[in-house]
Amino acid sequence: MPALDVQAKLAILADAAKYDASCASSGTSKRHSQGRSKGIGSTEGMGICHAYAPDGRCISLLKILLTNSCIFDCAYCINRKSSNVRRARFTVEEVVALTLNFYKRNYIEGLFLSSGIIRSPDYTMEQLVRVARDLRTVHGFRGYIHLKTIPDAAPELIEAAGRWADRLSINIEMPTDAGLSAFAPEKDGARIRGAMGSLRGHIDEAKDATKRFRSAPRYAPAGQSTQMIVGADATRDSDIVATASGLYSRYRLRRVYYSAFSPIPDASSSLPPVRPPLVREHRLYQADWLMRFYGFAATEVQAATDDGWLPLDVDPKTAWALKHRELFPLDVNAAPREALLRVPGLGVRAVDAILKARRWRRLRLEDLARLTRSVDKVRAFLIADGWRPTALSDRLDLRGRLAVPARQLDLFAA
């Protein structure tokens, strides 16, 4: 086989990396290059999406694998040992050069580097760390770096990874241990969780140290995240929600990504060759938001499910509200923040704006129209000055009126 040039390798190794949903470049420490004699790059808190692919996903980082060769045989993965895909491998220098060339042209915020496992977990992790270290120390790169962490790698390598990277992530892969052992026989759920636990230890420790000493070394200032594949096995949404909630509380993850299982070329014979369940994935993200920003407990999100499944026709908050009609309508001029956050259609920003605005005036429906994006939806659940939705909230067809046609998020909707 002829040697591949960088562009041909990029085609293979970007394709191999695209099933990882994470693209975030937010939430790291602020830094810039002004006044510096060398180096390049900045991070200002909010990440930037430099382009969007036709799959609607943001392109913020150069997301690639160092190599797609792998000694593991995880059924859901395009790079598994038994797959017939073409293999390629970047050198450390090639990844460094690509990152810098893209960054200088303002194509990306930084690098998200992962890899198939070659030779040993330690060897692979060492290569990943070398890329990050060279970017930081040799080239003074101050952009964003996300490194995939290999759970079985030696502790000193994980330590080094956190020194150079903004974010580390270990994928939990499947929502349950049973799913993991069925699809990824070489992976071990307990070991993955152990590695997440030790990452949390490092991150907490470093945060604590930077509070006391300004010069304390940073450790993954953008924290850790994970991803699980949805729809490859029979795990129900309620179990996924429980797993995610456990991950957030035990390991203080910044994000849990849900990746709808997507057909891949040369797929494993044990997986469903079906379209990815994109609407389900969307509902899971909404459920995730309810737990992180809206004060819902995992059990409350589970209460919004029908027999463990989140409805596809309405969002989880609406589903929850329809099952708790006795709590509505709420008086928008009196209800506390926690209660307003439970109103379908009211986001965190709208609730805060309502709280501030009602110090100045009694809110009417037309005021709500200025404060929210969806007055048609929220008015079924709210009492305002001059507005009482009695007729609406008791109507049996309320669900039908709030439901979106399932086609709206359909695959080929343009």
Cα–Cα dist 378/368, whole Å: 9
Q: Which is nearer to another protein, 208 or 410 (CB)?
A: 410
Question: What is residue 71's three-state secondary structure?
Answer: coil
Task: Determine, following the binding rule CB under 8 A, whether residue 105 of this chain makes contact with another protein.
Answer: yes
Rounded least distance, CB 9 to another protein, Å: 10
Angstrom distance (rounded) from CA 90 to CA 363: 60
The least distance separating another protein from the CB of residue 392, rounded to whole angstroms, comes to 22
Q: Which of residues 125-164 bind another protein (CB under 8 A)?
A: none
* Residue 336, C-beta contacts closer than 8 angstroms, at least 6 positions apart: none
Residue for token digits 């129900």? 236
Label the pairing between strands 330-331 and 382-383. Answer: parallel
- Residues 75-94 within binding reach of another protein (CB under 8 A): 75, 82
User: How many degrees, rounded to 5, is the angle at CA 175 between CA 172 and CA 179?
Assistant: 95
One residue of 1, 3, 45, 55 binding another protein per CB under 8 A: 55
CB of 92 to another protein, least distance (A): 18
- The verdict on 276 binding another protein (CB under 8 A) reads yes
# binding residues, another protein (CB under 8 A): 82
Does position 337 interact with another protein (CB under 8 A)? The reply is: no
CB of 86 to another protein, least distance (A): 12
* One-character DSSP codes across 305-335: SBTTB--SSS-HHHHHHHHTGGG-SEETTT-
> At its nearest, how many Å lie between another protein and the CB of residue 83?
9
Helix (H) or strand (E) holding 228: strand 224-230
50 binds another protein (CB under 8 A): yes
Min dist. Cβ of residue 90 to another protein (A):
13
DSSP alpha helices (H): ranges in 228-381? 237-251, 278-293, 298-303, 316-323, 337-340, 348-357, 365-371, 375-378
Residue 72 and residue 81 in contact, taking contact as beta carbons nearer than 8 Å: yes
58 scored as a contact of another protein (CB under 8 A): yes
- CA–CA distance from 6 to each of 10, 12, 90, 106 (Å)? 6, 10, 8, 20
Smallest separation (angstroms) from another protein to the CB of 390: 24
Of positions 91, 104, 208, 401, contacts another protein by CB under 8 A: 104
18 belongs to the binding site for another protein (CB under 8 A): yes
Binding status of residue 101 toward another protein by CB under 8 A:
yes
- Residue list 232-251, contact with another protein (CB under 8 A): 232-234
Which CB sits closer to another protein, 358 or 399?
358
Q: Name which of 33 and 210 has its Cβ closer to another protein.
A: 33
CA distance 120 to 122: 5
Q: Is 189 in the site for another protein (CB under 8 A)?
A: no
- The residue among 19 and 72 lying less far from another protein, judged by its C-beta, is 19
Query: Counting contacts by CB under 8 A, is residue 45 touching another protein?
Result: no
